[in-house]
Amino acid sequence: MNLRPLRLGTSKLFVFAALILCGCASHQDTGQQAAVTEEDFNDPFEDTNRKIFEFNQFVDRNAIVPAAKAYRAAVPDPVRDSLRDFLNNLRAPLIFANDTLQGQFESAAKTVGRFVINSTIGMGGVVDVAGRWGIPFHEEDLGLTLGTWGIPEGPYLVVPVLGPSSPRDLGGQVAEGFGDPWNLMVTGNPWTLYWIPFVRGAVSGIDQRSRYIETLADIERTSLDYYATIRSLYRQRRAALIRHERENLPPPVGVSQRDNPNSSTPFVNTAARPAMISDASNVSQVTK
């Protein structure tokens, strides 16, 4: 039996390798203390996670960032934006399915509208016409759907190369890998083009990493504990998305093809300090 390539191993390959895209979220001191306690409790594999994190940073510095810089230098901004719009358009069927499973029927209708408009007037999704008409992209995935249903996230995990995750989110990614209709289409009979999902994932990861090179370098340089910052921001964003919050989110941490396509630069949250970072830490501001 031919095994179709999982989207898990492609669409998140480069972004998760970098453990990238982090920012800041404002907290009161009491809120920070509560977050610290929660994160300590939910990271029972911290020693192992930190070793994997160091390996992933090595991969990022020596492979991902050089590739992202070359991509950014060689491909003009409008072309990169069109490519990202196209890749986001490919996610529309999965987003629609998760909107529906969560009972978010208004969001599901908007997802259908975006897909129809961008696939036709937008020339297959290379132009985000729907976004310009007031129907912005929003992200959904099976991990968020499971969270909406009340399934616990489980302990924090750092997966080699793939990066920040949890049993719930990792399981959702595996399931989506089998269910992505475009992957099924190109890897099944009569096409059997197994290389396409890998190219799709590689391009998506390189594109997203290229948009956060300076931001992540600055965040890492000013963070007292970069591992804890990534862990905190990953959980903050996932929790906010489960609550269906769309504005002022922490940036995507290890999630490719799901950031806001209308924003070419990362998230802004001024004077913010994520949990697990000392009050003396001056975490740099990030622009959205």
| Residue in the block written with tokens 């190219």 | 199
Query: What pLDDT, on the 0 to 100 scale, is given for residue 166?
Result: 96
Query: What pLDDT, on the 0 to 100 scale, is given for residue 162?
Result: 81
Q: At what angle do helices 213-222 and 65-74 cross, to 10 degrees?
A: 140
Task: Give the whole-angstrom CA distance, residue 52 versus residue 37.
Answer: 22
Query: What pLDDT, on the 0 to 100 scale, is given for residue 99?
Result: 97
| Residue boundaries of the structural domains of the chain | 8-242
Query: What pLDDT, on the 0 to 100 scale, is given for residue 47?
Result: 96
Of 231, 233, 220, the residue nearest 272 (C-alpha): 233
Task: Give the whole-angstrom CA distance, residue 234 versus residue 59.
Answer: 20
Which long-range contacts does 189-198 make (Cβ < 8 Å, 24+ apart)? 192/2, 194/4, 194/5, 197/4, 197/5, 197/7, 197/10, 197/11, 198/5, 198/9, 198/10
Q: Give DSSP secondary structure letters for 93-116.
A: HHHHHHHHHTT-HHHHHHHHHHHH
User: What's the DSSP call for residue 164?
Assistant: E
pTM: 0.73
Query: What pLDDT, on the 0 to 100 scale, is given for residue 252?
Result: 61
CB distance 158 to 112 below 8 Å = no
Query: What pLDDT, on the 0 to 100 scale, is given for residue 270?
Result: 32
Query: What pLDDT, on the 0 to 100 scale, is given for residue 142?
Result: 96
Query: What pLDDT, on the 0 to 100 scale, is given for residue 2?
Result: 45
Task: Give the whole-angstrom CA distance, residue 110 versus residue 95.
Answer: 10
- pLDDT in single tens digits along all 288 residues of the chain: 444 444 444 444 344 434 334 333 334 444 444 444 444 558 999 999 999 999 999 999 999 999 999 999 999 999 999 999 999 999 999 999 999 999 999 999 999 999 999 999 999 999 999 999 999 999 899 999 999 999 999 999 999 988 899 999 999 988 998 889 998 998 887 888 888 888 888 898 899 889 888 877 887 888 899 999 989 989 998 999 999 988 777 666 543 333 443 443 344 333 333 333 333 333 333 333
